[in-house]
């Protein structure tokens, strides 16, 4: 855990260095390949990268601007658990328009699997009570020996509940890769698995992490339990675990990972790492944790052939050393459904201009 807190430069710079290293590896190691869109790619496989979330940091690439509104609206859309893009269109976000049908439906993608995974079974009627106890509903009695039962599984709520009740559990994984429904999806999920890991902090690490968040909140005039802790530290008050407990400072750290089968490095990856970073902060907040890191694991990691000119422009840019983005969430948010895209505040993000490229559909 201590190694996560030792950094030679700001988390913002670290994000850009790491992201640029992915581009460099694809360029140097990548192999040419055709693809579903007919555009052509150069790619490699199985790259893992780490992004620090300490001090409320969010892994936003600063060497080119990432548009925050679509990112945040999309995250709330995921949390709503629907495959219909009506919510996105309502807020002027068009990133999924090219794949939706005439009814604005994408099928059971992403959030639908996260929040309402469909589970239908034919069971022996003699086992019915066991299934009812698990939350299934009896749909019909097929015959005197068999019954049809169904339920919807909220995978994200299960993770949240486990973090609250048994946080050292090693089964806190959420999957969007529902093999039985892939043909029903307009596009099978690219980022398909999300895992969280929680451990209790020792006193020095707890104080260090909470102080980092406190400095962030104080810098941007945000009053919170963390800024109150920093005020006590600055006043010379002796800090101990009991005092931090009374302030509500979490005792546990949360790390997360996301696995992505197909990584469009130049367009999609900045969205993905930032979105899952904010999601990790949100889950940490509503479960009594402090977020520490996100690991992104890419399976097929590629650059599209028609992005090469833009990639060269990007790699030639100087790193924007003043950009160190952090995320601040309302303390009042305590449950999954409290999330609102326009309630998320990102501070310290001073990116270089956006680089426009075509999106392969």
Q: What is the DSSP letter of 57?
A: B
pLDDT of res. 359: 76
Residue 9 has pLDDT above 70, yes or no: no
Residue 347 sits at φ, ψ, to 5 deg, of -115, 160
Arithmetic mean of pLDDT over the chain: 95
CA distance 267 to 41: 13
- Given a cut of 80, whether residue 83 has pLDDT beyond it is yes
Give Rg (Cα) of the chain: 22
Rounded to an integer, the average pLDDT of 329-339 is 97
342-356: average pLDDT: 96
Distance between CA 181 and CA 188 in Å, rounded? 9
% residues pLDDT > 70 (the chain): 97
pLDDT of 2 reads 42
Tens digits of residue pLDDT in 178-193:
999 999 999 999 999 9
Q: Tell me the HSE value of 281 on the side-chain side, using a 13 A CA sphere.
A: 26
Q: pLDDT band for 361, please (50, 70, 90 cuts).
A: low
Query: Where does the pLDDT of residue 228 fall: very low under 50, low under 70, confident under 90, or very high at 90 and above?
Result: very high
Q: Report whether pLDDT(94) > 60.
A: yes
pLDDT beyond 90 at 7: no
Query: Hey, CA dihedral for 345, 348, 353, 354, is it positive or negative?
Result: negative
Return the DSSP state at 297: E
Q: Quick one: average pLDDT of 328-345?
A: 98
Mean local confidence (pLDDT), 302-310: 94
Q: What is the pLDDT of residues 238-274, one digit of tens each?
A: 999 999 999 999 999 999 999 999 999 999 999 999 9
Q: What is the pLDDT of residues 125-138, one digit of tens each?
A: 999 999 999 999 99
d(CA 113, CA 96): 17
What is the predicted pLDDT for the residue at 4? 47
pTM over cut 0.85: yes
**Is 45 an active-site residue?**
no
Task: Please name which of 57, 54, 107 lies closest in space to residue 84, comparing C-alpha atoms.
Answer: 107
The answer to whether 244 and 210 have CB atoms below 8 angstroms apart is yes
CA dist 249 → 179, 236, 271, 334 (Å): 41, 18, 30, 14
Task: List the catalytic residue out of 45, 190, 255, 299.
Answer: 190
pLDDT higher than 70, residue 5? no
Position of tokens 């599209």? 304
Residues 6+ apart with CB under 8 A from 221: none
Amino acid 157: pLDDT: 98
């Amino acid at each position: 855990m201590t190694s996560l807190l030792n950094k030679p430069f700001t988390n913002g710079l670290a994000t850009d260095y790491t992201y640029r290293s992915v581009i460099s590896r694809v360029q140097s190691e990548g192999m040419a390949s055709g693809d579903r869109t007919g555009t052509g790619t150069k790619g490699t496989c199985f790259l893992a990268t780490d992004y620090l979330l300490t001090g409320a940091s969010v892994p936003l690439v600063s060497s080119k601007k990432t548009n925050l509104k679509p990112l945040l609206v999309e995250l709330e859309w995921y949390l709503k658990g629907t495959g219909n893009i009506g919510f996105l269109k309502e807020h002027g976000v068009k990133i999924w328009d090219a794949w939706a049908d005439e009814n604005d439906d994408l099928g059971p993608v992403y959030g639908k699997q996260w929040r309402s995974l469909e589970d239908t079974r034919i069971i022996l009627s003699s086992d019915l009570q066991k299934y009812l106890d698990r939350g299934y509903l009896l749909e019909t009695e097929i015959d005197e020996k068999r019954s049809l039962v169904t339920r919807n599984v909220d995978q994200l709520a299960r993770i949240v509940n486990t973090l609250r009740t048994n946080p050292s559990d090693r089964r806190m994984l959420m999957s969007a890769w529902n093999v039985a429904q892939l043909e029903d999806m307009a596009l099978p999920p690219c980022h398909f698995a999300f895992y969280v890991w929680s451990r209790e902090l020792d006193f020095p690490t707890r104080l260090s992490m909470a102080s980092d968040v406190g400095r962030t909140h104080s810098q941007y005039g945000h009053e919170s339990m963390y800024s109150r802790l920093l005020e006590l530290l600055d006043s010379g008050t002796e800090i101990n675990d009991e005092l931090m407990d009374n302030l509500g400072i979490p005792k546990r750290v949360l790390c997360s990972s996301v696995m992505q089968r197909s990584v469009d490095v130049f367009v999609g990856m900045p969205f993905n790492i930032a979105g899952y970073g904010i999601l990790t902060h949100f889950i940490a907040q509503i479960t009594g944790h402090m977020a520490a890191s996100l690991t992104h694991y890419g399976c097929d990691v590629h650059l599209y052939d028609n992005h090469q000119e833009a990639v060269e422009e990007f790699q030639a840019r100087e790193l924007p050393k003043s950009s160190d983005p952090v995320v601040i969430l309302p303390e009042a948010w305590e449950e999954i459904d409290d999330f609102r895209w326009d309630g998320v505040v990102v501070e310290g993000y001073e990116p270089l201009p956006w680089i426009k490229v075509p999106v392969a559909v």
